[in-house]
């Protein structure tokens, strides 16, 4: 890209009061892509140029003209993040830079094996490593300088000689593991002691083994706290539902209805995913409807007209598609 156009992009962004990350989020690319445009190392594609012009309220001619004097704004390069310095920013490896996920990597190299699937998936295996990008935008790149994973939802993980980075933030894995161990150790001790006490003093071996299931249950909670990742709650939710199922069966002789709690496993795990990825379509709403219908029928004998609740399923997905369409429209430069 012409350096004058790169300078103009810097000036326009500064006039809008946007950081590189904020601009990248508005037009749906990575911060590294914006940085490359403003350093004249790469050029936005046609779609991104249109989005930039619309966002800055200028025409494409005004955005790309090079014969006028550039405003006197001294361009200062923003320091590269540690994730950019981890070895993934050279011409032989991949740097996430656009929706297509192809800028920064040469797919037509002859020093290895290239596979291009009809659905858009791509694989390259060569001396520089293994690179995979699927048609949804998720990519995995493994090389001598580390590993990089970019999800189509916008999350990225870099593992290199400088450490582990998640969404550009360096992760102190050792410190988090230590924090996790400090929280987990007393919980494991308490659960094991409870198992022995209930077994020996109350002759409750037939149910005290439930205490051992609490160990991985609380372990999942402490992982979620230490690593600040909701996905670690999946195992906790699953074990929690199993513990409730067994407890209701053993202590309340409720085997005939306690199995309903097992239906909550896909409901709760999908709810976590829907919240984490902010997508209503990821929530297992039909399973929740089945759970409610069975509970109404078994406990309140409302099999009829309880079946009416099934009509809410298409309504839910209609609403989910409305939110999805609204989000896509906003991502195309309207907000």
- Domain-embedded: residue 77: no
**What's the pLDDT score for residue 312?**
94
What pLDDT is attached to residue 293?
A: 95
Residue 116's contacts (CB-CB under 8 Å, 6 or more residues apart) are 107, 122
| Terminal-to-terminal C-alpha distance of the chain | 26
- DSSP result, 8-35: HHHHHHHHTT--HHHHHHHHT--HHHHH
Please check whether residues 312 and 192 belong to one and the same domain.
yes
Whether residue 178 sits in one domain with residue 154: no
Span 73-96, mean pLDDT?
A: 40
Where among 47, 64, 81 does a domain terminate? 64
The answer on pLDDT for 311 being more than 90 is yes
Q: What is the CA radius of gyration of the chain?
A: 27
Beta strands at 146-150 and 129-133: parallel, antiparallel or unpaired = unpaired
- Identify the domain containing residue 26 by its residue range: 3-64
Average pLDDT of the residues in 305-331: 80
* Residue 53 shares a structural domain with residue 180: no
Q: Which of 232-236, 289-293, 301-305 is predicted with the least confidence, judged by mean pLDDT?
A: 232-236
306/234 same-domain check = yes
Give the residue, 203 or 102, on which the prediction is more confident. 203
| Selection from 30, 144, 38 nearest residue 90 by Cα | 144
Answer whether residue 316 is part of any domain. Answer: yes
pLDDT of 93 reads 36
Cα–Cα distance, 303 to 176 (Å, whole number): 50
For range 197-222, the mean pLDDT: 87
Q: Are residues 140 and 102 in the same domain?
A: yes
For residues 18 and 39, state if they share a domain: yes
Task: Please give the pLDDT value at position 66.
Answer: 55
Residue 118 sits in the same domain as residue 224:
no
DSSP 298-329: HHH--HHHHGGGGGHHHHHHHHHHHHHHHHHH
328 shares a domain with 187: yes
If you search the block for the tokens 């590294």, which residue do you land on?
A: 32
In a shared domain, residues 155 and 167: yes
User: What is the domain count for the chain?
Assistant: 3
Same structural domain, 248 and 326: yes
Instruction: Give domain status of residue 27, yes or no.
Output: yes
Of 62-66, 234-238, 256-260, 268-272, the one with minimum mean pLDDT is 62-66
Q: Which residue among 137, 171, 205 closes a domain?
A: 171
Q: How high is the mean pLDDT of the chain?
A: 77
In this structure, are 103 and 207 located in the same domain? no
Return the CATH number at 110. 2.20.220.20
Helix ranges, the chain (H):
3-15, 20-27, 31-38, 46-56, 60-64, 173-201, 205-208, 210-227, 233-252, 255-258, 264-277, 285-300, 303-306, 312-329
pTM exceeds cut of 0.85: no
Average pLDDT, stretch 175-179? 70
Is there a single domain that holds both residue 227 and residue 325? yes
């Amino acid at each position: 890209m012409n350096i004058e156009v790169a300078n103009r992009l810097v000036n326009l962004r500064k006039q809008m009061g946007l950081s590189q990350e904020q601009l990248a989020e508005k037009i749906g690319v990575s911060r590294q892509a914006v940085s490359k445009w403003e350093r004249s190392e790469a050029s936005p594609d046609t779609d991104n140029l249109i989005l930039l012009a619309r966002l800055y309220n200028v025409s494409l001619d005004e955005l790309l003209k090079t014969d006028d004097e550039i405003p006197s704004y001294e361009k200062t390069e923003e320091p590269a993040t540690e994730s950019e310095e981890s070895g993934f920013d050279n011409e032989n490896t991949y740097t996430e830079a656009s929706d297509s996920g192809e800028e920064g990597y040469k797919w037509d190299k002859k020093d290895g094996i290239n596979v291009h699937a009809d659905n858009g998936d791509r694989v390259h295996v060569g001396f520089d490593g293994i690179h995979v990008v699927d048609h949804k935008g998720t990519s995995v790149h493994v090389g001598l300088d580390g590993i990089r994973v970019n999800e189509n939802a916008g999350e990225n993980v870099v593992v290199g000689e400088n450490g582990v980075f998640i969404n550009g933030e360096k992760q102190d894995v050792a410190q988090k593991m230590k924090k996790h161990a400090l929280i987990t150790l007393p919980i494991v001790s308490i659960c094991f002691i409870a198992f022995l006490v209930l077994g020996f003093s109350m002759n409750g071996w037939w149910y005290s083994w439930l205490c051992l299931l609490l160990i991985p249950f609380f372990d999942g909670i402490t992982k979620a706290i230490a690593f600040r990742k909701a996905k670690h709650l999946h195992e906790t939710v699953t074990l929690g539902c199993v513990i409730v199922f067994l407890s209701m069966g053993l202590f309340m002789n409720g085997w005939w209805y306690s199995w309903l709690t097992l239906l909550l496993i896909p409901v709760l795990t999908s709810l976590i995913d829907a919240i984490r990825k902010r997508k209503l379509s990821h929530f297992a709403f039909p399973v929740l409807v089945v759970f409610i219908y069975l509970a109404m029928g078994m406990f309140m004998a409302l099999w009829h007209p309880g079946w009416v609740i099934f009509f809410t399923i298409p309504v839910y997905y209609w609403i989910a598609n409305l939110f999805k369409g609204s989000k896509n429209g906003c991502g195309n430069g309207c907000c």
